[in-house]
A and B are shown apart, each in its own frame.
Chain A
Amino acid sequence: MTDETNFTIEEIKPRADALRGLDSLFLQDNAALVQTYRNMDWSDISSLTQMVDVIEQTVVKYGDPNDSIKLALETILWQILQKYPLLFGFWKRFTTIEYQLFGLKKSIDVLATSVKWFPTSLELWCDYLNVLCVNNPNEKDFIRNNFHIAKDLVGEQFLSHPFWDKFIEFEVRQENWDNVQIIYEYIIEIPLHQYARFFTSYKKLLNERNLKPKRDIDTVLRRTQTIVNEIWQFESKIKQPFFNLGQVLDDDLKNWSQYLNFITNPSKSLDKKFIMSIFDRCLIPCVYNEKVWLLYINWLSREDSSYEITVGIYQKASKLLPLDFKTLRYDFIKYLKKNYRLNNVLFSNIFNETLSHFLNLWPNDVSLMTEYICMWKRHSFKNSLDQPPREILEKQTSFTKILETSITNYLTNQTDPRVHLQTLMNDKNLSIVVVELIKTTWLVLKNNMQTRKYFNFYQKNPLIKDSVPFWLTYYKFEKSNVNFTRLNKFIKELGVEIYLPTTIMNDILADYKTFYLMHSNIVAYETSTLDSSTFDPILYPELKISNPQYEPVADVKPNAEWYKRTEWKEAGHVGIMIERPQISNSIIECNSRNLVQRPITLPNFRNLEKINQVKINDLYTEEFLKEKK
């Protein structure tokens, strides 16, 4: 795009504190600047505006400050614009400030950067081209080149007449009448706000220059006129065409959605470039609205747009959207997987890049690792039917090897940055890699011995010990072996040594009962219940459902201290322990021959004095309310 301009602002490293390293005297004299910077509220446009105001005042005050001050001011502005590149007003003010501080060259550079960061801004392009025309009138090719870039980006916008005026003016000045006609021919098809004016001047030009139109321009005029009339109902209602912080007005959103529906209606068969330009414009105020992005992508895929455009929009969206929008980003991954065959290498690269990015954003999202391994295997270890089996086996073995080394490296803290997988691994998704290793060994290499070894080895690791995928794989593995001894042990250990979410445990328990009933037989059942009197593979899972810490009563004899159990103390009022009063002497004695000699003793009471000693463990107040952050 504007790579010709060797630019310096973008090279400014985003520093956490732009004011660091400044002369303390300067800081003292400009307390307002320091204070505004320190108190800047990134979500409040007025706070940002105030910041720029203060910078402008500082520039006026000092005229030509020293380099470090200049750099500091530049950095602040750059920080703001890097975060919100769509604030075109700030770009303009930045340009002025740069002009005052450094002179013309650098201010033009700022404009060049601005159209690179905010390419769909009509105002910025007009400013930039204007400055170029006025200051470098001789670099015609460079200017014309920029005009053409701008034409593609903003030329279709409803209010882009200032740009076209400028373009025509530029070509007229060169007296390049062919080009002028080409421009007019281009314009008359665009539904512009001032389409009529351009028609008149085109006709005038044709008359003056005695040129011949290449087609019947009146037909074109009528067509353009209809479209302009149709879209005017939407265009006239746009209240805020620019980007601002905070919510977009509901009316505007509604209008945009109707507008987009209207133009994307297949029956209209509008020009694709025109529709895209409306989407681009909508995405200026609605840049943080995921739905509009999805609508755009949806439309692109319906129109069979080239994957470059679609991927471009996806990348732009995933860069600009706030981090909590996941739908579009997951859509992107799906899209890449689906269209992988279009361009293996490119898509695999984009995929890896995107995944690394997403894993940085959401390190807890284990599904990303699953996606990655799938794609990695598909790309780097692909097999086809015409390959000899030996080759296939070798490939799969090497895949397993890489997985195992990656896991070992990760566990020993020696990750190799050259292996992409190892850079992606974290504590959360380690178990996914382990499961993949186990599954390949078990299902592809068919090595049951090795699989069991892996299970035994990794289940000791605290990072894997409570991993759902790991244990579900284990459960499946033992189920496939119909190994009831191990399965029984596994079921027994659930909730006691293997801690899984209750939902999953319930699923397993319910499923196990079914499985047992279907695959075991009465003899096996009876022997198993004979062996261990406490475990019944049919009854036990049922008792454990929704009771993760269920333990069968091993000792059938009544416990002498039964009244000390939590269940008794909390009976009827969970969370509140009460020592209930009890009669401590038993009247069983009355059956003895003592009864004959003496009367039954009066009841003795235990815990009568504790009746109102309520024991509660109020963690909520202790740990939450009183806890200071």
Chain B
Amino acid sequence: MSYKQFNYYPNRGDPTRNDSFQYNDVTSSNNNSINNNGTNVLNVQGASDINPGTAGNQLYMGDLDPTWDKNTISQIWGSLGEANINVRMMWNNPSNSSSRPSMGPKNNQGYCFVDFPSSTHAANALLKNGMIIPSFPNKKLKLNWATSSYSNGNNGSNNSISNGKSGNNYSIFVGDLAPNVTESQLFELFITRYASASHAKIVHDQVTGMSKGYGFVKFSNADEQQLALSEMQGVFLNGRAIKVGPTSGQQQQNVRANGGNEYNRSSSSLNNENFDPRFPSKNQSSLGNVTNNMSSKRNHMSQFIYPVQQQPSLNHFTDPNNTTVFIGGLSSLVTEDELRAYFQPFGTIVYVKIPVGKGCGFVQYVDRLSAETAIAGMQGFPIANSRVRLSWGRSAKQTALLQQAMLSNSLQVQQQQPALQQPTYGYIPSTSYENPAPLNSNITASMLPGSQTLNYASPYTNDNSLLHESSNSLGLNDFGFYNKNGATNASTASLMTNNDSIGATDANGQQVLMQGNEAFANSTTAMLNRLEQGSNGFMFA
């Protein structure tokens, strides 16, 4: 795969690799204990051996100008009398969309970590907190102990406390998230698979509020955490395959669990990539010892993971309750009544509207199904020598609101969607299409086009209703079939009445007459009238 995640792991190349600062700094301080817990559970020993020299000598430095780099920071501290420091900058991920190469100047994240020669130096430096930076008079020093440095320094004494405080929490890193993934979506993705997923956090840029494209998921069960590490690699969320990996603290701990060799390699900067979560196979193999037993118990689905389809934003195209059809490429000769004659057979029409001089028209149906059949059936049909192009429109009321909005300020149309609500949570598409179906079926049951003709005895009627009931899960396509059956039934019935009127009263004909309701009789009469009088100059009035 690619190396686009490098910036998620700012400690790469740092021989100390002692911190899980990203998580700690951005989230609450108790996350710190999570990482430590991870360490503790698997290998408590040796945690303090790793970073013997760095305890308590690291400071967090915030409120940086985005353009500052390591040299600038060194100069600042140099001018403050601390020349012997080591600066670690936090660089922004070039952009959250990983497909694009980074463009323009590289920006820091607004903070960095400064290693001082000793904790005394660091403590002294911390006293300068709030001081105006000499070379940048509009900036003040913003300093604090780096949490990791602090916690690392007190590892031994803190362990028991943090264990007791936060219970058993295990977290994983999730990277390569699409920019629009919300925390709830992320959480939903995990909770549906792992019952112990307890918390999801996405890291946002503090300045822009944009997602940085990565986050963390917390589990209360270590087994499931490990399972997630192995199973969730490359699962699609909002159209993008996510990356999972252990949090940096665990990485080390994993390494430690697998022996000194690995650790040695990890401490050499050359081989750092090996521990990058982008190489799950390696990590997994190293994790294998721990997780194999657990995962073999579960019939997990890491082989065939369904890609998660992105739920499109709700607009007139995706609104499942939209029943307004837009007709483009309409000849100016066509009147509203004529247009109605073209679209009437698909269902009950609420209104037909042709705005003056726009070369287009609107037809609104009572139910969704009619509108869908109309679009599918009439797409590209020539009306008055001009082929119409159909798409979804908006109702006259919404159109008026939109036009008003466009007049008042020429904002982008897509953002101006009155009366439409953005769903707070994303859904997996299959459910999203299932949900409206029962609703629709209720509506269509009463207002289905041609349903008034269904009242006569037919061996198919029962089947239809069965089909109708089952169609909830089959999706809306089935309605189309049902609808057509309705129309067909109508025609069969009309045949029968014709027979009857001519005098060939057979049993069927009588049956129809007995059961024929008024609406049906009316529609048949209307049809015969149209055929009879149509040749005398058909009027659509």
A: which residues have CB within 8 A of B?
364-367, 369-370, 427-429, 432, 435, 439, 462, 465-466, 468-469, 472-473, 476, 495, 499, 501-504, 506-511, 513-514, 517-518, 541-542, 545-549, 566-567, 570-576, 581, 608, 611-612, 614, 616-621, 623-627, 629
Alpha-carbon separation in the docked complex, A439 to B376 (Å): 37
Alpha-carbon separation in the docked complex, A266 to B357 (Å): 51
Does B522 sit within 8 A of A, measured CB to CB?
no
Does B538 sit within 8 A of A, measured CB to CB?
yes
- Find the B residue at minimum CB distance from A497: B382
Segment 335-373 of B: residues with Cβ below 8 Å from A: 335, 338, 341-346, 355, 357-360, 371-373
Task: Report whether B345 and A572 are in contact in the complex, using a CB–CB cutoff of 8 Å.
Answer: no
- Set B310, B317, B494, B530: member contacting A575, Cβ < 8 A: B317
A514-B495, A514-B498, A629-B358 known; A545-B488 Cβ under 8 A: yes
Does B380 sit within 8 A of A, measured CB to CB?
yes
Q: A469-B535, A545-B488, A548-B381 are in contact. List 20 more A-B contacts (CB 8 A).
A: A365-B539, A367-B537, A428-B333, A466-B385, A472-B535, A504-B534, A506-B487, A510-B527, A518-B499, A542-B488, A546-B484, A567-B376, A571-B475, A574-B376, A612-B310, A614-B312, A619-B360, A620-B393, A624-B328, A624-B355
Report the minimum CB–CB distance from B122 to chain A (whole Å): 48
Alpha-carbon separation in the docked complex, A367 to B335 (Å): 14
Shortest 4 CB-CB contacts between residues of A and residues of B: A612-B239, A501-B341, A370-B537, A510-B491
A499-B383, A611-B309, A624-B360 known; A366-B345 Cβ under 8 A: no
Alpha-carbon separation in the docked complex, A349 to B196 (Å): 92
Task: Report whether B476 and A616 are in contact in the complex, using a CB–CB cutoff of 8 Å.
Answer: no
Q: In the complex, what residues of A have CB within 8 A of residue B316's CB?
A: 620
Alpha-carbon separation in the docked complex, A510 to B520 (Å): 14
Does B391 sit within 8 A of A, measured CB to CB?
yes
Task: Report whether A612 and B309 are in contact in the complex, using a CB–CB cutoff of 8 Å.
Answer: yes
Alpha-carbon separation in the docked complex, A428 to B260 (Å): 92
A507-B527, A625-B403 known; A366-B537 Cβ under 8 A: yes
- Set A495, A542, A572, A576: member contacting B318, Cβ < 8 A: A576
- Set B307, B342, B527: member contacting A501, Cβ < 8 A: B342
Task: Report whether B345 and A571 are in contact in the complex, using a CB–CB cutoff of 8 Å.
Answer: no
A510-B490, A546-B377 known; A469-B391 Cβ under 8 A: no
Task: Report whether A576 and B317 are in contact in the complex, using a CB–CB cutoff of 8 Å.
Answer: yes
Task: Report whether A370 and B328 are in contact in the complex, using a CB–CB cutoff of 8 Å.
Answer: no
- Find the B residue at minimum CB distance from A368: B537
Alpha-carbon separation in the docked complex, A427 to B384 (Å): 11
Does B21 sit within 8 A of A, measured CB to CB?
no
A506-B345, A546-B487, A572-B477 known; A466-B382 Cβ under 8 A: yes
Interface string of B469-489 (1 = CB under 8 A from A): 000000111000001100110
- Find the B residue at minimum CB distance from A624: B360
A542-B488, A612-B239 known; A369-B537 Cβ under 8 A: yes
Does B126 sit within 8 A of A, measured CB to CB?
no
Task: Report whether B537 and A432 are in contact in the complex, using a CB–CB cutoff of 8 Å.
Answer: yes
26 contacts across the A-B interface (CB closer than 8 A): A367-B539, A432-B537, A462-B385, A466-B384, A468-B538, A472-B531, A476-B535, A499-B383, A501-B338, A506-B345, A506-B527, A507-B527, A507-B530, A510-B490, A510-B491, A511-B494, A513-B495, A541-B491, A545-B484, A546-B373, A575-B391, A576-B312, A612-B309, A618-B317, A620-B392, A621-B413
Task: Report whether B385 and A370 are in contact in the complex, using a CB–CB cutoff of 8 Å.
Answer: no
Counting chain A CB atoms within 10 Å of each CB, which of B393, B475, B476, B530 scores highest?
A: B530
Q: In the complex, what residues of A have CB within 8 A of residue B343's CB?
A: 502
Task: Report whether B484 and A502 are in contact in the complex, using a CB–CB cutoff of 8 Å.
Answer: no
Q: In the complex, what residues of A have CB within 8 A of residue B393's CB?
A: 620, 624
Does B236 sit within 8 A of A, measured CB to CB?
yes
Alpha-carbon separation in the docked complex, A183 to B533 (Å): 58
Q: In the complex, what residues of B have CB within 8 A of residue A518's CB?
A: 498-499, 502
Counting chain B CB atoms within 10 Å of each CB, which of A367, A473, A510, A617 scores highest?
A: A510
Report the minimum CB–CB distance from A426 to chain B (whole Å): 11
